Every structure is written in structure tokens, then in C-alpha cells.
Amino acid sequence: MQKNSNSKKNSTHLELAKLGKIFFKEKKFFDFYSKHKKSSFEAIKNINLKIEKNTFVSIIGPSGCGKSTLLNLIAGLQAPTSGKIIIDGLAIKGPGPDRGVIFQNYALMPWLTTIQNIEFALNTVFPEKTKPDIKERAINYLRMVGLEKASNKFPKELSGGMKQRVAIARALSINPNMLLMDEPFGALDALTRSYLQEELLSIWRKNKVTVVLITHSIEEALLLSDKIILMSSGPSATISEEISVDLDRPRDRQNIEQDPKYLKIKMRLEKHLLRETRAVEEVT
């Protein structure tokens, strides 16, 4: 049996230090005479976290607590209001090819074919590469997710699962060392979801990437992760707990639920989510 991936880890890949994000809203015309010109909403506050290289981390928390905000900050798509995001020892200042991002809604360009979607990303990240090199690389990644034959199809001709496989191929093709995934399988049926979970695990094992996955599914987090980060309810959400998932790999989805260690963590996660979701309901 393969050992838990702890053996692959060697140093901190991602560090979040006192990270916070406040959204400022411009006041509308009818608010003109009010005292303050802007209102604000503190989504996340004082997030501190260290993630080792090649770790598979999931982030779980009540709906609307700030998970996507956190992922967007790590991706460099939004700027933090306070604190730092440090990758391999350096504070990031924006997006970079070291991070591949995958969203729930695939984010493919509808006017480009499957292969052109991947080529577009490759041309942006590797402008020095020749056209044939880019094409070959794009085909290799499509082959990796079993979609070589769909290379000339447009996104509208693909199923949800196929679109998400293209998004995964595109994110991996730029050779990132971190994959940031925001509910990537949330819109898929159960069978496609479990198929893509297996595919993601195999890609993670082969490519040695650090994965940060946002999920609403406790079962998904337990099946895939080395570590689960629990977020508190917002506003001003923060990290409540970090749980190590010390279960052997590969994990068998049929039998894992019999494992007392699995059941113990599952119960802890359920309790947390219930408590934090109630806290949201009491505020609203």
C-alpha cells in the first residue's frame, strides 16, 4: 500500500500571514448625504496558514463564509486588504503561471475549440514556444484527460464532465506547481464526479503539485485530502481548525466509510459545519 503523501513533503509551499479582505462598496446616489462615502464588508480576517509542498488541502466552511474570496486571493485575482500570501518564500503580487486555477463553471472560451482553449493558455504563458510545440503540448494534455478525440469540438458540444476535464488539462498544461480549485465538481452528476476525483488524484500523484480544493462535500474532502481547513462563518471569517487526514492511500471509496478514523473526522467536520451554519442563521 502506498504511504500517506507525508513522505513527499519537504518544505512550505504556501504561507498565508494575517490575511484579510474587506470589500468596499461605493454608496449610491440616494446615500449621498450620509456621513460616510463608502460602506464596507469584512469577508475574511486574520487568516494564517502554512501548506507544505505537494500536499492536497481542502477548504470547507459554511456557505458564503469566504472560501472563494480566499482562493481568489491565493490565485492573485483579487488583492488582500491586509496580510501577505507567500509562495516559495516570496510575497505574490498578482496571478502567475505557477498557479493553475479551476472554477466550477469551467471558464472555457466558447468561441474556441477544446484544443484552442488550451493553446490560448499556453501561448500566454510560453510566448517563446513555436506553434507546433504548443500544439503538441496541448494534445498531450488532452490525451492525459482522455479527450484527444474531442480536440476540435467547441465547449457547447461537450458534457459538463468533459468541459471540466478540458479545464483541468488547460490548468495543468502550463505546468503549475499549485492547483487552485473552486468547487470544481459541484455541478457534475455523482458518477462523473467520482470519476474526475480519481483522475485528479492520479494527476496529483504523477505531477507533484500542491492542491488547494474548495468543496462543500465532507466525503470528497476526506477521500482526497491530506489536510482539511475548516473556516468559521462570516463576516470576518477565519480558520477555525486544521485537521490532518491520516488515512492510508490509495483510499478505497467503497470501504473507507468503515474506517473508525474516517468516521471520527467525518463526525468532527459535520459538527463544525452544523455549528457554523447555525451561527450564520442566527445572524441573518
How far, in Å, CA of 35 to CA of 215, rounded?
A: 40
Which residue lies nearer to ligand ATP by CB, 145 or 273?
A: 273
DSSP 128: T
**Least separation, in Å, of the C-beta of 99 and ligand ATP?**
17
User: Of the two residues 41 and 202, which places its CB atom closer to ligand ATP in the complex?
Assistant: 41
Work out how close the CB of 264 gets to ligand ATP at its nearest, in angstroms, rounded to a whole number. Answer: 25
Q: How far apart are CA 82 and CA 22, in angstroms?
A: 9
| Site of interaction with ligand ATP (CB under 6 A) | 23, 41, 43, 61, 63-69, 234
Q: Looking up cell 468543496, which residue turns up?
A: 215
For the CB of residue 129, give the shortest distance to ligand ATP in the complex, in Å.
Answer: 35
**Element of type H or E holding 71:** helix 67-75
Element (H, E) at 281: helix 260-283
Question: Do 55 and 5 form a contact (C-beta atoms < 8 A)?
Answer: yes
Shortest separation between residue 132's beta carbon and ligand ATP, angstroms: 41
Spatial CB neighbours of 124, under 8 Å, sequence gap ≥ 6 = none
54 vs 69, beta carbon nearer ligand ATP: 69
Q: Which of 235, 275, 214 is closest to 20 using CA atoms?
A: 235
Minimum CB–partner distance for residue 250 and ligand ATP (Å) = 29
Select 78 or 175, whichever has its Cβ closest to ligand ATP.
Answer: 78
Which lies closer to ligand ATP via its Cβ, residue 104 or residue 117?
Answer: 104
